[in-house]
Amino acid sequence: MNCQLAHERIVTAAYGELSDELTHELERHVAACAECRKEREQVLALKTLAGAYPVVEPGPNLVARARLRLDESLDALPPKRWYERLGERILGNFSSLQAAPVAALLLLVAGAGAGVLGGYEYAQNRAAHAAAAQVAVPAAVKTQPAATLPALANVASVSGIAREPNSDVVDVSYNQIVPRHVEGSLDDPQIRQLLMLAAQNAPAGVRGDSVALLAAECRADRSCKSTGVREALMVALRYDHSAKVRQKALEGLEPYVADDVRVRDAVLEAVLNDNDPSIRTAAIGLLEPVDADMSVRQVLYSVSNSDNNPRIRNVSRQVLSRVPEIQ
């Protein structure tokens, strides 16, 4: 399996639509390919984050307005030209032309001629529209003095560059970023959604601030039950590159380790896979109230016997010492 095919199947597998045979083949490829493994982690993180946002169904008024606009657009379409109608007839009767080679050849020649004529007419229309649009655009919109340009930090991209003939004047087209801000309480759904977005797509410092606020809400048992905040913290714990951000996410998930199996699984993954020993140690401490859980016992038993870090082994053994036996 090549990487391109693996990327296509990763999305299908993430939503449980891949057969068992192809899933096993994908697992073998991902185990040996770091790039595809990273791609799968990103897809799973995106799926988890997307599931955190509520799905808003369009209202009946919106659907009705959309249908009216669609009908108006269809009515405004110009009538089809003769060569377009001829092309549709050729395509519609193509199956019947297999038994009439001479007629098919004649229609093919006619269709080619119609295509050339139609292309010429289309090119003329495009040129006329482009000329009209160029005349219609005010000079103030086309060009702008360099002294009035915004700061480079507010320029998203440059979309075009043209130099005027026999001149040193250069016309640069650019797309501008317009900063926005909003104020609101932590109970505001818009504020929570922005915080969850910042927890995934922001510089490390902003991610840390966002995760810290979300974690504080969870520890206070506010806005952390059905709004997706908990899921955002689990994504941060699993995939964020900053150890500080992962530590804050772990602290926010602490109240839900006992009641939410998904949170418990995320903490177990941190025990097994996190590259920061302090986070692994803190995760083991969070699992202590649920050390009677079979999956928790198995992970702690495995870590206490085979982990390369002696501190992690000792902490795991201390937790297991309070459990009489491993079943």
Q: To the nearest whole number, what is the mean pLDDT of the chain? A: 74
Q: Pick the residue with more confidence: 225 or 139?
A: 225
Which helix (DSSP H) or strand (DSSP E) does residue 156 occupy?
Answer: strand 155-163
CA atoms within 13 A on the CB side of 30: 18
Name beta bridge partners: 158: 174
Architecture of domain 189-320: Alpha Horseshoe (1.25)
d(CA 126, CA 148) in angstroms, rounded, equals 33
CA 2 to chain centre: 23
Average pLDDT over every residue of 236-252: 91
Least confident of 44-48, 121-125, 219-223, 268-272: 121-125
Query: What is the pTM for the complete model shown?
Result: 0.49
pLDDT tens-digit map of 27-66: 888 888 888 888 888 887 777 766 665 666 666 566 666 7
What per-residue confidence (pLDDT) applies to 137?
40
User: Measured at the alpha carbon of residue 4, what is the angle toward residues 3 and 6, in degrees to the nearest 5?
Assistant: 60
- The residue count of the chain comes to 327
Read off the pLDDT band of 145 (50, 70, 90).
Answer: low
For the chain, the domains span: 3-51, 61-135, 140-176, 189-320
| Contact (Cβ atoms closer than 8 angstroms) between residue 222 and residue 252 | no
pLDDT tens digits, 150-204: 555 566 677 778 878 887 787 878 777 667 777 877 777 777 777 878 887 778 7
Q: What is the pLDDT of residue 282?
A: 92
Q: Which three-class secondary structure state does DSSP give residue 196?
A: helix
Q: What are phi and psi of 173, to 5 degrees?
A: -100, 135
Q: pLDDT tens-digit profile of 198-230?
A: 887 778 788 888 888 888 888 887 667 655 788
Looking at this protein, which amino acid is placed at residue 77? L
Phi, psi of 175 (to 5 degrees): -105, 130
Distance CA 13, CA 161 (A): 44
CA dist 294 and 311 (Å) reads 23
- Give the end-to-end CA distance of the chain in Å, rounded to a whole number: 40
Residue 136 clears pLDDT 50, i.e. is over it = no
For the chain, percent of residues with pLDDT exceeding 90 = 6
Which residue has better confidence, 114 or 25?
25
What pLDDT shows up at residue 128?
53
Do residues 165 and 159 touch, judged by C-beta distance below 8 A?
no
- The two tokens of residue 74 are 């269809």
Residue pLDDT, tens place only, 297-327: 888 888 888 888 999 989 888 888 876 554 4
Gap between the Cα atoms of 124 and 307, Å rounded: 73
CA 50 centroid distance within chain: 8
Say what percent of the chain tops pLDDT 70. 65
Token pair, residue 108, equals: 């093919």
